[in-house]
Amino acid sequence: MTINAEKTADDDVASAPAVRVDAMSVRYGALTALKDFDFVAEAGQVTAVIGPNGSGKTTFLNALTGAVPYQTGRVAINGLDVSHATPGRLHKLGVSRTFQNLDLMDDLSVESNVRLGATSRSHATLLEAALLAPRTISENRQRRQSAGAAMRLLGIERHSRTLVAELSYGLRRRVEVARALASSARILLLDEPTAGMGPNESNEFSQLVGHLRDELGLAVVMIEHDMSVVRSVADVTYVLSAGVTIAHGKPANVLDDPNVKRVYLGSFEVDNA
């Protein structure tokens, strides 16, 4: 009895990582911000990217999401080549991002902010929306349901009618993540999500990220500065220095690497290195 060893394209896609980056380089004139960066993020895992200021972390996230051009490299999402794709196309593929600086509408309620994420999936025409056509009514209902589910997951449903401007910083971060989830995100990109948080808020947020990973099977890519968060929730960690990868692997191994400690000019035993 023989076994057919042929693999189809669908098999390759099914076994592909959520995000794969090969040899990505970003240059600004004579300055190389990122050089030959290889990166993999799997579904159901939190993958952290760390490094000192100016190491290329946010440059990588900007290039990955189409916000800045990269000169060399290939990007694949779930096995689909999306090299140099626009942010809009990536969003349609389930890639959603939060930013270092909160990007929320302060004068709107929590629910209204979260529903903005679901609105990005609308297919109704302007005429259908104006006439409250059946498709518009159906999509409005779906948006409410998506927003409600996202708020429940993030533990902010009781604040649904509160203006975002009235919330604490930690809760505002949760609103931003809920908005991303309401867009049916399968790949969540977090850019320094705990920046500005105290230890308790950071700990709560890291637990939340772990819950989303485990509950939804998301691929979470996290740029992070707080090493206690990295230790507690990351499954894999990449370390950048001057645009070059100097280590990657399990957080415990990476954070104890002498080269990594040297880059940070001290030991990672200090949580906020």
Sign of the alpha-carbon torsion through 132, 137, 143, 145: positive
Do residue 126 and residue 261 come from a single domain?
Answer: no
Domain of residue 125 covers 104-185
Q: Is residue 231 part of a domain?
A: yes
Supply the CATH number for residue 67's domain: 3.40.50.300
Do residue 83 and residue 3 come from a single domain?
Answer: yes
Q: Is residue 99 part of a domain?
A: no
Do residue 197 and residue 169 come from a single domain?
Answer: no
User: Number of folded domains in the chain?
Assistant: 2
* Contacts of the segment 139-145: beta carbons below 8 A, 24+ positions apart: 142/118, 143/115, 143/118, 143/119, 143/182, 144/115
Do residue 14 and residue 141 come from a single domain?
Answer: no
Do residue 230 and residue 244 come from a single domain?
Answer: yes
Do residue 88 and residue 191 come from a single domain?
Answer: yes
User: Any residues with CB less than 8 A from the CB of 63 and at least 6 apart, and which?
Assistant: 24, 26, 34, 69, 70, 73
Q: Is residue 267 part of a domain?
A: yes
Decide: helix, strand or coil at residue 235. Answer: coil
Angle, CA 62 vertex, CA 59 and CA 68 arms, to 5°: 95
Do residue 87 and residue 192 come from a single domain?
Answer: yes
Q: How many whole angstroms separate alpha carbon 139 and alpha carbon 148? A: 14
Could you tell me if 219 and 43 are in contact, meaning their C-beta atoms sit under 8 angstroms apart? yes
- For 32, 44, 51, 155, 163, the CA distances from 217, given in Å and listed in that order, are 34, 4, 26, 18, 30
Closest CA to 54 of 246, 241, 227: 241
Do residue 66 and residue 201 come from a single domain?
Answer: yes
Do residue 138 and residue 195 come from a single domain?
Answer: no
Last residue of a domain, one of 166, 185, 204: 185
**Could you tell me the pTM of the whole model?**
0.82
Last residue of a domain, one of 185, 215, 247: 185
Could you tell me if 122 and 139 are in contact, meaning their C-beta atoms sit under 8 angstroms apart? yes
Do residue 195 and residue 176 come from a single domain?
Answer: no
Q: How many whole angstroms separate alpha carbon 60 and alpha carbon 55? A: 10
Q: pLDDT tens string for the chain (273 positions)?
A: 333 434 434 445 557 999 999 999 999 999 999 999 999 999 999 999 999 988 999 999 999 999 999 999 999 999 999 999 999 899 889 999 887 777 788 899 999 999 888 765 555 444 444 444 555 555 566 667 788 889 998 999 999 999 999 999 889 999 999 998 888 889 999 999 998 888 899 999 999 999 999 999 999 999 998 999 999 999 999 999 999 999 999 999 999 999 898 887 554 444 444
User: Any residues with CB less than 8 A from the CB of 226 and at least 6 apart, and which?
Assistant: 194, 197, 202, 271, 272
